[in-house]
Amino acid sequence: METILTVQNLTKKFGFLTAVKDLSFTIEKGNVYGILGPNGSGKSTTLGIILNVVNRTAGEFSWFDGNTSTHEALKKVGAIIERPNFYPYMTAIQNLKLVCKIKEVPDTKIQEKLELVGLWDRKDSKFRTYSLGMKQRLAIASALLNDPEILILDEPTNGLDPQGIHQIREIIKKIAAQGTTILLASHLLDEVEKVCSHVVILRKGEKLYAGPVDGMLASHGFFELRTKDLEKLESLLEKNASFGKITRENGTLTAFLKEEMNAEELNKLLFEKGLVLSHLVKRKESLEEQFLTLTKNN
Amino acid sequence: MVRLLQIEFIKLWNNRASKILITSYFLLLTSIALVAAIKFDIGPVQFHLADQGIFNFPYIWHFNTFVTAIFKLFLAIVIVSMMANEYSNKTIKQNLIDGLSKKEFIASKFLTVISFSLISTVFVFVVSMILGLVYSDYNEISIIFSDLEFLVAFFVKLVGFFSFCLFLGIFVKRSAFALGFLILWVILEQMVFGLLGWKVTSWESAKMIKSLFPLESMANLIKEPFSRLSAVQNIGQQIGENMSFDYQVYWYEFLIVILWTAIFVYLSYALLKKRDL
């Protein structure tokens, strides 16, 4: 697979504070990555370093094949960091034309991108007259002007109202569906869960986990079961080697798997033993549950 | 290079305040022609400034470059704020993220400084040429094109001064404070000079040291032209004052200013490189 970004042993110190500590990960083309971590865990600093605005203390990072200079590579990247930063006295169009000049791309895409984020009607309004949501959407349009290989978003929904959040998420999903690699930093877990296939989890500048969302915990998920004879069900499952912990709550039995087993298999097994289920759901722990487990245990 | 200039042009020309300041600067440069219209007609005393020889070649090169250099303060405001605004709007961060290198960023600003200085020089050249052709008593080609080093000095002086403004903008990050710092610096140079002459060395060597200071060295490039006027000379002779000053532009004066320019541009770059945004 094509590598877009390699980060090796990256460290950043602000005086006594170590914001990023010996961080390594790679980003492959076509995946949607999330960088997760509580506030102050080094997400923005990491992005700042790879985007050439924060100086690293130690370590390496390289874009694409490693032969392009960072600022040349950034022309193939679209990025939004924290707040949308544009010239307040210029209109959307003027601002985007400037970005085109910097990225050395023709300004033919401006209309397409402004339409994508729903700002074409307001193209001639000055940036300072925009609401926060509109500013954020303009930032996305600007980041997409060069049809980037990777889109980097740092807390894109921070400070937005529910409609704004929804709009931004829809746009992100649209972009992800087009096959663009995305790197999304956020402390909002459901946001990451909804769009990301891979995650990097940070805490106090240290990497706790990097890999697919599913592989975060070595877990095979769990079943939620309901039937008339719960006692019999419980004793049956306890005898089965595939199951570990079993809990009973409000007439529902939750049985955690120790090895892979699909719902049909279990259903068939129980039916053969004379148990008819009224409720059968197989679930995985939500990202939030996994995240909390990970950050708590360490 | 054209790209970097275009980038800066978009930023400046869409800003109403900069646009007004730039336009008024160039209008003021042209307005020096209005000096020609100064006429007093009080009974027996008739005074027409244009007849006093201020528009004579080659003196006009000296006079106009000296007077118009005062207007550079307008552009100084533009340059300080074009740098400081990048910080206050945080657009410098976005520029870098969008793929402008730090070197390119400084280069685009410095190229703008060069362009401003170059356009100003051409402006002063054209205006002086027209005024001279209209009012000068001497119109021989060899006289017209003598003493042109004042134009070169004008250009170098502007580049040096604007580079200083550029550095202050990046250093202080707030336009108002940067301009305040500029004024403070003017006073500081004089104070250091005063202290040196008073306590440390002789006034002679203090003067020497002073001419190495950035702003003083820029001021030294074009010395005041008024005592060269024949009218002033006449008065001087009448009251018995020896008025023979040295008005030449010397190569080492160029060198000092060019050196400061290089230092300011390099310091701006170093500062930008070192800082986390």
- For B59, the 3-state DSSP assignment is helix
Q: Which of A72, A98, A103, A153 to mutate to test the interface with B (most CBs of B within 10 A)?
A: A98
Domain boundary assignment for chain B: 2-274
Contact state of B3 with A99 under an 8 Å Cβ cutoff: no
Residue A39 phi/psi, 5-degree rounding, is -55, 140
Contact A85 B14 (CB under 8 A): no
- For A126, the closest chain B residue by CA position comes to B14
Nearest-CB residue to A53 (from B14, B104, B277)? B277
- As a whole number of angstroms, the longest Cα–Cα distance in chain A is 75
CB within 8 Å: A85 and B94: yes
- Asked if B90's CB is within 8 angstroms of A83's CB, the reply is yes
Using beta carbons and an 8 Å cutoff, which residues of A are at the interface with B?
14, 48, 51-55, 69-75, 77, 79, 81, 83, 85-90, 94, 97-99, 101-104, 142
Report CA-CA distances (Å) from B221 to A27, B157, B205. Answer: 57, 7, 19
For the domain with range A3-212, which CATH number is right: 3.40.50.1110, 3.40.50.1370, 3.40.50.300, 3.40.50.920? 3.40.50.300
| Chain B residues touching residue A81 (CB < 8 angstroms) | 93-94, 97
Tokens standing for residue B244 = 């023979």
Residue A47 confidence (pLDDT) above 80 = yes
Percentage of chain B exceeding pLDDT 70: 92
Query: Nearest chain A Cα to B5, which residue?
Result: A101
Are the beta carbons of B99 and A103 closer than 8 angstroms?
Answer: yes
Identify whether the C-beta of residue A126 lies closer than 8 Å to the C-beta of residue A88. Answer: yes
Q: Which residues of A205-229 are buried (b: 16+ CB within 10 A; e: fewer)?
A: bbbbbbeebeebbebebbbebebee
Q: Do B101 and A94 touch (CB under 8 A)?
A: no
Q: What is the mean pLDDT of residues B59-81?
A: 88
Percent of chain B with pLDDT over 90: 45
Q: Which fold has domain A222-297?
A: Alpha-Beta Plaits (3.30.70)
Q: Given the structure tokens 């356009």, which residue do they identify?
A: B119
**pLDDT confidence tier of residue B102, bands split at 50, 70 and 90:** very high
> Which one-letter DSSP state was computed for residue A253?
E
pLDDT on residue B231: 66
Cα angle A125, A129, A131; round to 5:
115
Please state the rounded mean pLDDT for residues A77-86: 87
Q: Say if CB B145 and CB B196 are below 8 A apart.
A: no
pLDDT at B243 over 70: no
Give the C-alpha separation, A127 to A125, whole Å.
Answer: 6
Is residue A59's pLDDT more than 60? yes
* CB atoms A101 and B6 under 8 Å: yes
Contacts of A89 in chain B (CB under 8 A): 14-16
- For residue A46, CA distances in Å to A20, A61, A208 come to 7, 10, 15
CA proximity to B91, closest of A99, A74, A114, A45: A99
Tokens linked to A110 = 């401006």
Asked if B94 and A98 come within 8 Å (Cβ–Cβ), the reply is no
Higher-scoring residue by pLDDT: A42, B239: A42
> Which residue in A72, A101, A135, A144 has the most chain B C-beta atoms within 10 A of its own C-beta, making it the best mutation to test that interface?
A101
CB B227 within 8 A of CB B233: yes
Percent of chain A with pLDDT over 70: 98
CB B66 within 8 A of CB B227: no
Q: Between these two residues, A82 and B180, which has the higher pLDDT value?
A: B180
Measure in Å the smallest separation between the Cα of B135 and chain A Cα atoms.
45
- Quick: pLDDT tens for A173-217: 888 888 889 998 887 777 777 778 888 888 888 888 888 877 776
Residue B180: per-residue pLDDT: 92
Between vectors from CA A101 to CA A95 and to CA A107, what angle results, nearest 5°? 75
- The model scores a pTM over 0.90: no
Which residue of chain B comes nearest to A143, CA vs CA? B98
> How far does A86 lie from chain B, in Å, by closest CA?
6
Which chain B residue has the Cα nearest residue A72? B99
- pLDDT reported for residue B230: 67
| A51–B104 CB contact, under 8 Å | no
Cα distance between residue A219 and residue B200, in whole Å: 80
CB A91 within 8 A of CB A122: no
Contact A102 B101 (CB under 8 A): no
Among B114, B130, B115, B20, smallest CA distance to B64 is for B130
pLDDT at B117: 94
What is the pLDDT at residue A211? Answer: 85
Judged against a pLDDT cut of 70, whether residue A34 lies above it is answered with yes
Q: Give the Cα separation of A95 and A81 in Å (integer).
A: 17
Is residue B157 scored above 90 in pLDDT? yes
Q: Is A86 exposed, middle or buried (0-12, 13-18, 19+ CB in 10 A)?
A: buried
What is the Cα–Cα distance from B88 to B81, expressed in whole angstroms?
10
- Which residue on chain A is closest to B85 by alpha carbon? A87
Cβ separation A71–B104 shorter than 8 A: yes
Contact A23, A45 (CB under 8 A): no
How is residue A8 written in tokens?
């090796």
| Structural contact between residues A204 and A295, judged by C-beta atoms closer than 8 angstroms | no
Q: How much is the pLDDT for A90? A: 93
Decide if A89 and B14 are in contact by the 8 Å CB cutoff: yes
Provide residues of B within 8 Å CB-CB of chain A. Answer: 3, 6-7, 10-11, 14-16, 89-91, 93-102, 104, 273-274, 276-277
User: Residue A297: is its pLDDT beyond 60?
Assistant: no
